[in-house]
Amino acid sequence: MADRKLFALVCVLIGISVLLTYSLSVYFTIFSGVGEFHFAIRQFIFGTISIFIMWSLAQGDPDRHLSPVGFTLFIGSAFLMIIMPFLPDFLVTAVGGAKRWIKVFGFSLAPVEFFKVGFVYFLAWSFSRKLGHHGDMGIKEEFIRFAPYGIVFIGAMFVIAFVQNDLGQVVVLGLTLLFMLMFAGSSFRFFLSLLLGALLFFLFFIFTAEHRILRIKSWWALAQNSVLDMLPARLATALRVPTEVEPYQIGHSLNAIHNGGLFGTGVANGTFKLGFLSEVHTDFVLAGLAEEFGFMGILFVTLLFMWMLQRIFKIANRTRSTSTYLFSIGIGLLLAFAFLVNAYGISGITPIKGISVPFLSYGGSAVMAASFGIGMILMASKKAKME
């Protein structure tokens, strides 16, 4: 029997997302000229489909169905991402010159969301066959062993970061890959080497795009005072960003969080969703949640999310299959990093990356893709020794 607690926890998070979408999208519905229930109804449809996806996958036999589903997601979504720039405009939706969504029956789906789940399955499947404990292996041998995966990741990174102009997804995927390598048996020394290389690549991507530089400056303009006060005056002066760089979104996000206090302003009573935070029901959903439900609302959702991760990691720990173990760990890491990157961004700790909150942010692609990952874990849980 599949893990019922994990299924129920995800269903509760999806239900909360429908409520938040209705409450937080009020300004955007007026701005877009649609009915007040427009986005809530769409999120309800996405959520219902996602729950059905999880339930359907949970009925499958992991020995027969897990691999076909995983490779279909990996190969199919990779193919779509590659051909998207060449598709006509009536089939794709472009934002900022980057084609990220494919139009299907009046909805827009982002292949990159499904690619992340498929990529994690590919890594888990391959790591379980090619990697193992590093033993006395030198770092050079570890790099040689890792090289094929590095080439695949660099290819994916090029498509996502340059073709689709979405660096945030690369950050989440890169972190997931690094930690999966640790669980697959690589040495800590190799992990640190890859982490340093990833930081250098990250800086390269930032300084090759003007909009990313401006985003970093916007974040630093807000965070610099608390940091520069601890540095020598000469160094602080050199690092200070001119005040004309306006931390617009982060500033309003922090004000929304502060306005919520301990218990919040109440459902539909938030003010910063009224044009101050753009599309607050998507990337800034946690800021909207904090304003209307306060610290207690954030705490409740965080505990639900942590409970969900605990069930995922428990399934991973109880399974006998190495590939299933790594896949479950990878999906848990993927969801955890997305939550943390978003939470750190809206609270001003790190720059905003445009990453949605799993199962909470409005959007069909993200919730359905994550549901594929959870559904595959539910399928695998039937062969794990659970309490």
Q: Given a cut of 90, is residue 69 above it in pLDDT?
A: yes
User: Three-class SS string for the chain?
Assistant: CCCHHHHHHHHHHHHHHHHHHHHHCHHHHHHHCCCCCHHHHHHHHHHHHHHHHHHHHHCCCHHHHHHHHHHHHHHHHHHHHHHHHHCCCCCEEEECCEEEEEEECCEEECHHHHHHHHHHHHHHHHHHHHCCCCCCCCHHHHHHHHHHHHHHHHHHHHHHHHHCCCHHHHHHHHHHHHHHHHHHCCCHHHHHHHHHHHHHHHHHHHHCCHHHHHHHHHHHHHHHHHHHCCCCHHHHHHHCCCCCCCCHHHHHHHHHHHHHCCCCCCCCCCCCCCCCCCCCCCCCHHHHHHHHHHHHHHHHHHHHHHHHHHHHHHHHHHCCCHHHHHHHHHHHHHHHHHHHHHHHHHCCCCCCCCCCCCCCCCCHHHHHHHHHHHHHHHHHHCCCCCC
Lowest mean pLDDT among 83-97, 118-132, 210-224, 330-344: 210-224
Q: Given a cut of 80, is residue 161 above it in pLDDT?
A: no
Read off the tokens for 215: 């985003």
Label residue 114 by pLDDT band (50, 70, 90): very high
Q: Model's pTM, two decimal places?
A: 0.86
Mean pLDDT throughout 289-304?
95
Predicted local confidence at residue 67, as pLDDT: 93
Predicted local confidence at residue 320, as pLDDT: 85
Q: Is 2 exposed, middle or buried (0-12, 13-18, 19+ CB in 10 A)?
A: buried
Mean pLDDT throughout 365-387?
87
Q: Given a cut of 80, is residue 180 above it in pLDDT?
A: yes
Predicted local confidence at residue 289, as pLDDT: 94
Give the separation between CA 46 and CA 246, rounded to whole angstroms: 35
Mean pLDDT throughout 231-257?
70
For residue 45, is it within any domain?
yes
- Between 199 and 294, where is the model more confident? 294
**Neighbouring-strand partners of residue 95:** 98
For residue 184, is it within any domain?
yes
The label of the residue with tokens 């993927």 reads 334
Distance of CA 330 to the CA centre of its chain: 12
The label of the residue with tokens 């990878």 reads 330
For residue 217, is it within any domain?
yes
Q: Given a cut of 90, is residue 255 above it in pLDDT?
A: no
Q: Given a cut of 70, is residue 242 above it in pLDDT?
A: no
For residue 270, is it within any domain?
yes
**Which amino acid is residue 190, in one-letter code?**
F
The label of the residue with tokens 């160094």 reads 235
Predicted local confidence at residue 227, as pLDDT: 67
Predicted local confidence at residue 55, as pLDDT: 95
Q: Given a cut of 80, is residue 377 above it in pLDDT?
A: yes
Q: Given a cut of 90, is residue 373 above it in pLDDT?
A: yes
Question: What is the chain's mean pLDDT, rounded?
Answer: 84
Domain limits for position 151: 4-381
Give the separation between CA 41 and CA 46, rounded to whole angstroms: 9
Residues 5-53 pLDDT 10s: 999 999 999 999 999 999 998 888 888 888 889 899 999 999 999 999 9
For residue 63, is it within any domain?
yes
Lowest mean pLDDT among 51-55, 114-118, 134-138, 329-333: 134-138
Highest-pLDDT range among 119-128, 184-193, 206-215, 328-337: 328-337
Distance of CA 106 to the CA centre of its chain: 24
Label residue 132 by pLDDT band (50, 70, 90): low
Residues in the chain: 387
Which among 312, 264, 308, 310 is positioned nearest to 286, based on CA atoms?
Answer: 264
Give the separation between CA 209 and CA 204, rounded to whole angstroms: 9
The Cβ of residue 234 has, within 10 Å, a number of other Cβ atoms equal to 8
Predicted local confidence at residue 232, as pLDDT: 75
Mean pLDDT throughout 111-126?
92
For residue 262, is it within any domain?
yes
Mean pLDDT throughout 304-322?
93
- Between 138 and 287, where is the model more confident? 287
Mean pLDDT throughout 287-298?
94
Predicted local confidence at residue 387, as pLDDT: 44
Predicted local confidence at residue 371, as pLDDT: 96
What is the number of structural domains in the chain? 1
For residue 387, is it within any domain?
no
Q: Name the pairing type of β-strands 98-104 and 92-95.
A: antiparallel
Predicted local confidence at residue 246, as pLDDT: 47
Give the separation between CA 244 and CA 253, rounded to whole angstroms: 19
For residue 386, is it within any domain?
no
User: Is residue 380 within 8 Å of residue 315, measured between CB atoms?
Assistant: yes
Predicted local confidence at residue 340, as pLDDT: 93
CA dihedral 79, 56, 17, 11 (to 10 degrees): -150
Question: What is the C-alpha end-to-end distance of the chain, expressed in Å?
Answer: 11
